[in-house]
Structure 1
């Protein structure tokens, strides 16, 4: 099944973008080729760019605190495991403390590294990191892979608290949803949002064998999915056949 996720607000949009970058960084760091380490460094810069939003850290801290208050209010409920509550609360508190202990924005310490900022200033230029542009960087890429990896891990550590906090928040959000199978008649599905609830994320799973692409739109009142089909690399067009897929609304 192919998973598609649709955020209902800008905050979740930013969280998902950062999550994708952190996942890419994790995959690149376990590789050894200089090209992989080059793109790992570019990914570090992209995380810094997305995390540069002034209120991002405040939003994440507020979300961590809100979740902790919610879980603390559930203590004493006989239907809920006290052990699990304590574990989640401790994770939330640890993430809060680690992120709050960092001064400034995520990766701000890296901005004081002149060599890194020189690379960052040129990665947006096509082939801007050639050996004649950045000979010191070219030499770094030819160092032993273990030394390059050590440097990358040191630089990535400054971004770890934010990544861990986002991973936990998105897991808690996704766990609130209950999957259900729905039918799209003639390729179109619409559903009114349940009243009295505020949803932040919609998750959609679709069988790749159907060769369908969902075009998703939604707000606090209505969610809509149009199923498109592409053939031979042409522009996707509306599918007029009935189809089914799995949908999950997370609050």
Structure 2
């Protein structure tokens, strides 16, 4: 089922953006063609830009520590699989340790690489990484794929603890909340929100055969969802039929 995550605050928005970029880096690294490795490197540069604008490390460590306390308090609960819980606690501990051991600024080892930064600077110019602009980069792309993959892995390693941390946090976030089945009448759904603990993200899923997509406007007070149909020749148009979907309000 196609699913859509919508963050309610900048903190979760940053984690979702980083998750998307790390997923693209890892996917393109696994592929062998030079164009895939080029795309992996461009996504790696975008990761540097995102983490440069946020107090990410402190936020991740704070949330991991909080989740460890929560998970530890659940030990002995007969309704929760203890092995799954202990494995998760161990993963949180290992990831927190790896993050704390990295005492430099996140991504600083890459920023100190003058060759990579010269590519990053040119990559911001449309068509700026052609072979006549960066012959050294053109040479690198022509190397054996195993050599390129090893280089990419070396550049990614200082950042992998970030990915491990956000992966754990988003996994816990997505697993929270109750999922309800709803209907958007004529493609529109609205819901007022309340409660002492506001949601941090919503997850929306639709069946594979639904030929429309949701546009969400939401905050801690209300949710507005409007389903649109994709028109490749014009801008999206409103869906005028009832759409069944599932909704989960997530909170750490």
Superposition TM-score, scaled by structure 2 size: 0.94
Counting only pairs closer than 5 Å after superposition, residues 8-27 of structure 1 correspond to structure 2 as: 8-27=8-27
Q: Tell which deviates more after alignment, 86-95 or 98-107.
A: 98-107
Counting only pairs closer than 5 Å after superposition, residues 121-136 of structure 1 correspond to structure 2 as: 121-136=121-136
Q: Tell which deviates more after alignment, 211-220 or 21-30.
A: 211-220
Residue 209 of structure 1: how far off its partner (Å): 2.5
Counting only pairs closer than 5 Å after superposition, residues 93-112 of structure 1 correspond to structure 2 as: 93-112=93-112
Q: Which residue of 2 aligns with 1:43?
A: 43
Residue 239 of structure 1: how far off its partner (Å): 2.1
Q: Which residue of 2 aligns with 1:60?
A: 60
Residue 177 of structure 1: how far off its partner (Å): 2.7
Q: Which residue of 2 aligns with 1:79?
A: 79
Q: Which residue of 2 aligns with 1:224?
A: 224
Counting only pairs closer than 5 Å after superposition, residues 166-245 of structure 1 correspond to structure 2 as: 166-245=166-245
Distance, in Å, in 1 between the alignment partners of 2:53 and 2:59 is 10
Q: Could you list the per-position Cα deviations for residues 78-115 of structure 1 after superposition, in whole angstroms to 9, with x for gaps in the alignment? A: 43343333221111111111111112333211111111
Residue 155 of structure 1: how far off its partner (Å): 0.7
Distance, in Å, in 2 between the alignment partners of 1:12 and 1:104 is 24
Distance, in Å, in 1 between the alignment partners of 2:57 and 2:181 is 36
Q: Secondary structure at the match of 1:191?
A: strand
Q: Could you list the per-position Cα deviations for residues 121-176 of structure 1 after superposition, in whole angstroms to 9, with x for gaps in the alignment? A: 11011121122221111111111111111111111111110011111110011011
Distance, in Å, in 1 between the alignment partners of 2:40 and 2:51 is 16
Distance, in Å, in 2 between the alignment partners of 1:69 and 1:45 is 34
Contact kept, 8 Å, 1:71 with 1:85, in 2: the verdict is yes
Distance, in Å, in 2 between the alignment partners of 1:151 and 1:34 is 13
Q: Which residue of 1 aligns with 2:117?
A: 117
Residue 18 of structure 1: how far off its partner (Å): 0.3
Q: Secondary structure at the match of 2:216?
A: strand
What's the RMSD between the two structures over aligned residues? 1.5
Residue 68 of structure 1: how far off its partner (Å): 0.6
Mind listing any 5+ residue stretches in structure 1 that lack a counterpart? none
Q: Secondary structure at the match of 1:180?
A: strand
Mind listing any 5+ residue stretches in structure 2 that lack a counterpart? none
Equivalent residues, number: 251
Residue 210 of structure 1: how far off its partner (Å): 2.5
Residues 232 and 85 of structure 1: CA distance in aligned 2, closer, same or farther (over 3 Å): closer
Q: Tell which deviates more after alignment, 118-127 or 76-85.
A: 76-85
Distance, in Å, in 1 between the alignment partners of 2:146 and 2:31 is 10
Q: Tell which deviates more after alignment, 166-175 or 82-91.
A: 82-91
Residue 208 of structure 1: how far off its partner (Å): 4.2
Distance, in Å, in 1 between the alignment partners of 2:47 and 2:90 is 26
Counting only pairs closer than 5 Å after superposition, residues 146-165 of structure 1 correspond to structure 2 as: 146-165=146-165
